[in-house]
């Protein structure tokens, strides 16, 4: 193992890219998004021309409810991938985050790998990224370094636990998040990295001043698997499957009284995006699924993929009768399998989601008013 900390940092990032791509080569297959099904209403469709995809998240406005989540920066490979992702973001209007900038704060010679986001996309919405545990001053420096419009702060205690050289002290994280939010000077999004944000965590974040949170749940890129593969003995295999999915987190979340929500982790298609929006997310983020095309074919490969996702997102809104993303929260949903079990264990009525449409539209004369969904049938009302 190298003793040069900058090189060690760069090698770790390259490991993450290779191992995350390998997870994409053998796709995860099923995840909790498959346990969410739209109840089809054959006469509820609307004209696609009437669909508007713009969304508001906290004080931020995005043209579409989709963004490229934080992944890379620092090494040569990471810089190349960041450039391709940044060009894709520019060409498609997606907001985009870079990966953790701690390496750039410590080793300024690596900063170019992050500045490329702004160089390639001067007018786009870009997000800086740092882990919890940093100072307010670090938060401000990271934002300034790339001229970011927002800052992502990641909470990755599960990843650090399995990472051979990872952090082992988490007590100070809440206090540091509070300082970073206060000092950043731009909107802050606190995110997980694939293990989910619980209701309790979301309420604590709200009390720390956080107005936007990305639940980034399990079922997609798996950092326990990635870090375990970097351990000589691979002796943390037993932690595989740790954490909750984005779907579970959205169901559990304190909608209306907590931070505005973004959803990521295991988003594989435009259908997964509309499912997340239907459960109260303002937008959905993709990392792993966009990594391989960006790395192998560059923006030339990824731009057509993202354009197809956006066209299909519009079509799915029309099919489901939603003129804008928030209206998807009035669709009827069947929650099955693991997701239904999660609801039952957490005291959420899964049946209430099958009756949201009727509860939202005025009843016809003589038709009894349906049961109004309890606890979480209408995410924005809670
Ligand atoms: C990530 N992710 C991540 N998140 C973060 O906040 N800072 C980071 O530096 C990284 N680094 C990183 C590298 C690679 C190669 C991948 C694939 C991912 C986590 C990412 O933003 C996201 O939360 C998870 O990957 C879950 O989403 P997907 O991959 O299932 O869409």
Task: State pLDDT tens for residues 31-41.
Answer: 999 999 999 99
With beta carbons less than 8 A apart as the criterion, state whether 216 and 265 touch: yes
Ligand 1 pocket: which of 10, 70, 79, 276 to mutate (most atoms <8 Å of CB)?
70
Q: What is the pLDDT of residue 6?
A: 75
Q: Answer yes or no: is the C-beta of 295 below 6 A from any ligand 1 atom.
A: no
Strand partners of residue 109: none
State the pLDDT confidence band at 9, using cuts at 50, 70 and 90. Answer: confident
Q: What is the pLDDT of residue 40?
A: 98
* CATH domain 51-169+176-330 topology: TIM Barrel (3.20.20)
Query: Ligand 1 centroid to 10 CA: how many Å?
Result: 16
Helix axis angle, 136-146 to 173-184, nearest 10°: 50
pTM value?
A: 0.94
The tokens describing 126, both together, are 């870009």
Place of tokens 């956080």: 210
The tokens describing 232, both together, are 């000589």
Determine the 3-state secondary structure of 364 from DSSP.
coil
Confidence check: pLDDT of 165 > 80: yes
For range 221-246, the mean pLDDT: 97
State the pLDDT confidence band at 363, using cuts at 50, 70 and 90. Answer: very low
Q: What is the pLDDT of residue 106?
A: 95
d(CA 256, CA 233): 45
Q: What is the pLDDT of residue 366?
A: 38
For CA atoms 311, 313, 315, 317, the dihedral sign is negative
The tokens describing 134, both together, are 């940093």
pLDDT in tens, 271-300: 999 999 999 999 999 999 999 999 999 999
Q: Answer yes or no: is the C-beta of 212 below 6 A from any ligand 1 atom.
A: no
Query: Ligand 1 centroid to 287 CA: how many Å?
Result: 6
With beta carbons less than 8 A apart as the criterion, state whether 162 and 239 touch: yes
State the pLDDT confidence band at 200, using cuts at 50, 70 and 90. Answer: very high
Query: Ligand 1 centroid to 362 CA: how many Å?
Result: 43
pLDDT in tens, 99-126: 999 999 999 999 999 999 999 999 999 9
For range 128-143, the mean pLDDT: 98
| Average pLDDT over all residues of the chain | 93
Determine the 3-state secondary structure of 58 from DSSP.
coil
Kindly give the number of the ligand 1 atom that is closest to the alpha carbon of 216: 23
With beta carbons less than 8 A apart as the criterion, state whether 375 and 356 touch: no
With beta carbons less than 8 A apart as the criterion, state whether 217 and 249 touch: yes
Nearest CA to ligand 1 atom 21: 70
Q: Answer yes or no: is the C-beta of 131 below 6 A from any ligand 1 atom.
A: no
Ligand 1 pocket: which of 10, 99, 244 to mutate (most atoms <8 Å of CB)?
99
Q: Answer yes or no: is the C-beta of 189 below 6 A from any ligand 1 atom.
A: no
Strand partners of residue 214: 191, 262
d(CA 325, CA 52): 8
The tokens describing 138, both together, are 């670090």
With beta carbons less than 8 A apart as the criterion, state whether 158 and 131 touch: no
Q: Answer yes or no: is the C-beta of 16 below 6 A from any ligand 1 atom.
A: yes
Query: Ligand 1 centroid to 69 CA: how many Å?
Result: 7
- Among 269, 255, 246, 273, smallest CA distance to 339 is for 246
With beta carbons less than 8 A apart as the criterion, state whether 113 and 150 touch: no
Query: In the chain, pLDDT over 70 holds for what percent of residues?
Result: 92
d(CA 170, CA 184): 21
What is the β-pairing status of strands 212-214 and 188-191?
parallel
């Amino acid at each position: 193992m190298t003793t040069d900390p900058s090189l060690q940092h760069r090698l770790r990032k390259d490991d993450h890219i290779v191992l995350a791509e390998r997870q994409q080569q053998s796709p995860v297959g099923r995840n909790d998004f498959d346990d969410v099904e739209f109840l089809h209403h054959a006469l509820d469709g609307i004209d696609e021309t009437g669909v508007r995809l713009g969304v508001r998240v906290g004080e931020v406005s995005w043209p579409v409810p989709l963004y490229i989540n934080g992944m890379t920066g620092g090494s040569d490979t990471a810089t190349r991938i960041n450039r391709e992702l940044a060009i894709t973001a520019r060409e498609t209007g997606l907001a985009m985050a870079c990966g953790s900038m701690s390496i750039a704060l410590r080793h300024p010679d690596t900063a170019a790998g992050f500045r490329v986001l702004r160089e390639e996309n001067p007018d786009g919405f870009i997000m800086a990224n740092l882990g919890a545990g940093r100072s307010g001053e670090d938060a401000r420096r990271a934002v300034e370094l790339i001229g970011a419009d927002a800052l992502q702060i990641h909470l990755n205690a599960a990843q650090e636990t399995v990472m051979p050289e990872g952090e082992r002290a988490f007590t100070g994280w809440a206090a540091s998040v509070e300082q970073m939010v206060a000092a950043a000077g731009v909107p802050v999004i606190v995110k997980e990295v694939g293990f989910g944000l619980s209701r309790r965590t979301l309420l604590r974040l709200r009390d720390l001043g956080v107005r936007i949170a990305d639940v980034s749940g399990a079922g997609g890129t798996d950092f326990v698997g990635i870090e375990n593969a970097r351990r000589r003995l691979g002796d943390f295999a037993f932690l595989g499957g740790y954490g909750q999915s984005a779907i579970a987190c959205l169901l559990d979340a304190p909608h209306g009284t907590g931070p505005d929500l973004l959803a990521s982790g295991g988003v594989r298609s435009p259908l997964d995006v509309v499912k997340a929006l239907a459960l109260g997310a303002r937008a959905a983020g993709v990392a792993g699924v966009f990594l391989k095309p960006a790395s192998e074919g560059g923006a030339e490969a990824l731009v057509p993929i993202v354009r197809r996702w956006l066209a299909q997102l519009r079509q799915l809104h029309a099919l489901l009768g939603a003129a804008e993303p928030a209206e998807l929260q009035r669709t009827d949903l069947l929650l099955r399998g693991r997701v239904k079990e999660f609801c039952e264990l957490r005291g959420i009525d899964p049946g209430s989601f099958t009756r949201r449409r009727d509860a939202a539209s005025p009843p016809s004369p003589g038709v009894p008013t349906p049961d109004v969904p309890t606890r979480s049938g209408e995410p924005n009302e809670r």
